[in-house]
Amino acid sequence: MNIQLCDSRVQSLNISRAAETKDTDGEIVHFSTNFGFKPDLENNYFICFKLVVETPCGSTVDLQYESMFYTDEIISEEFQSSPFAMVNSPAIAYPFLRAYIATLLTLSGFESVVLPTINFQAMYKNHVASNN
């Protein structure tokens, strides 16, 4: 099966400037991923990243970012819960999200934030453990 990242887009975005400066390192306050598999899109699936980041100056970025993937085969139920879909796909899309956040904040006059790397394998293991 060949898989390709074919589109990424912002679904919602809110940036608020802090009234007071806080001493943070650009921490992720909230991070989650949701996967979308639609029966009418047999060869496409998407990952929605939900993210809240507190910038070094204490401002907040609240973002929903969606990445869509295309496959050359019909997506099976087995694939939907596979490690590839739940580990590799977000690992492929996440660098684009990181670059978007860094660029957006810099161009908006905020201090730049470089999001940390995420261990999607550990997230998958936690997901599997919680569903057993």
| Pairwise CA distance, residues 40 & 56, whole Å | 43
Amino acid at 132: N
**pLDDT at position 25:** 61
Examine the pLDDT at 66 and tell me if it is beyond 80: yes
Q: What is the pLDDT of residues 103-122, one digit of tens each?
A: 999 998 888 888 888 999 99
| Pairwise CA distance, residues 49 & 102, whole Å | 16
| Pairwise CA distance, residues 62 & 52, whole Å | 4
Residues comprising the chain, all counted: 132
What is the residue extent of each domain of the chain? 3-130
Q: Which CATH architecture has domain 3-130?
A: Roll (3.10)
Quickly state the pLDDT bin for 22 (edges 50, 70, 90). low
| Pairwise CA distance, residues 48 & 9, whole Å | 10
Give the pLDDT mean for 75-89.
87
Q: What is the pLDDT of residues 30-54, one digit of tens each?
A: 999 998 887 777 889 999 999 999 8
